[in-house]
């Protein structure tokens, strides 16, 4: 797999792609297939983008009648987080199969939070 992200990814997904690839390489794991890295990057970026929107606009917004309702980006953030957890679980399963002899090196996962 190339370390270069696909050209169609958004700028935030490109950053997430690079974090995922660098984290795997730092831990000494074999590269993942590009499609799973792309899915992880997209969901991570989507979750972060939705969270940033809620942070900027607030938890509640006004509906067309002016009544307060939960911000729709909260649902986007939640759904992306669920997908991300599922994909990271798949990545962990793949990592166990591709771990170097003696186990992986410890790695900071700050970038994936």
Is 7 a residue whose pLDDT tops 80? yes
Question: Looking at the domain assignment, is residue 47 inside a domain?
Answer: yes
Band the pLDDT of 97: cuts 50, 70, 90.
Answer: low
Taking residues 32-55, what's their average pLDDT? 89
The residue among 112 and 29 whose pLDDT is bigger is 29
Check residue 69 and give its pLDDT: 98
Question: Looking at the domain assignment, is residue 109 inside a domain?
Answer: no
Question: Looking at the domain assignment, is residue 113 inside a domain?
Answer: no
Taking residues 11-15, what's their average pLDDT? 89
- Domain hosting residue 63, numbered range: 11-99
Question: Looking at the domain assignment, is residue 88 inside a domain?
Answer: yes
Band the pLDDT of 91: cuts 50, 70, 90.
Answer: confident
Question: Looking at the domain assignment, is residue 87 inside a domain?
Answer: yes
Question: Looking at the domain assignment, is residue 58 inside a domain?
Answer: yes
Check residue 28 and give its pLDDT: 61
The encoded tokens of residue 17 equal 């792609």
Question: Looking at the domain assignment, is residue 41 inside a domain?
Answer: yes
Residue 4 class from Cβ within 10 Å (0-12 exposed, 13-18 middle, 19+ buried)? exposed
Q: CA-to-CA distance for 99 and 77, rounded, in angstroms?
A: 31
Q: Give me the number of domains the chain comprises.
A: 1
The CB-side HSE value for 103 (13 A sphere, CA atoms) comes to 3
Taking residues 34-53, what's their average pLDDT? 90
Report yes or no on whether pTM surpasses 0.85: no
Question: Looking at the domain assignment, is residue 104 inside a domain?
Answer: no
The strand pairing partners of 69, in sequence order, are: 61
């Amino acid at each position: 797999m190339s370390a270069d992200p696909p050209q169609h990814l958004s700028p935030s997904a490109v950053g997430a792609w690079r974090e995922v690839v660098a984290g795997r390489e730092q831990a000494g794991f074999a590269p993942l297939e590009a499609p799973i890295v792309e899915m992880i990057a997209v969901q991570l970026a989507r979750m972060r983008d939705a969270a940033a929107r809620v942070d900027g606009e607030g938890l509640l917004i006004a509906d067309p009648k002016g009544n307060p309702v939960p911000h729709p980006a909260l649902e986007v953030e939640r759904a992306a987080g669920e997908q991300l957890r599922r994909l990271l679980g798949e990545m962990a399963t793949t990592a166990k199969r591709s771990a170097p002899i003696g186990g992986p090196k410890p790695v900071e996962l700050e970038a994936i939070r």
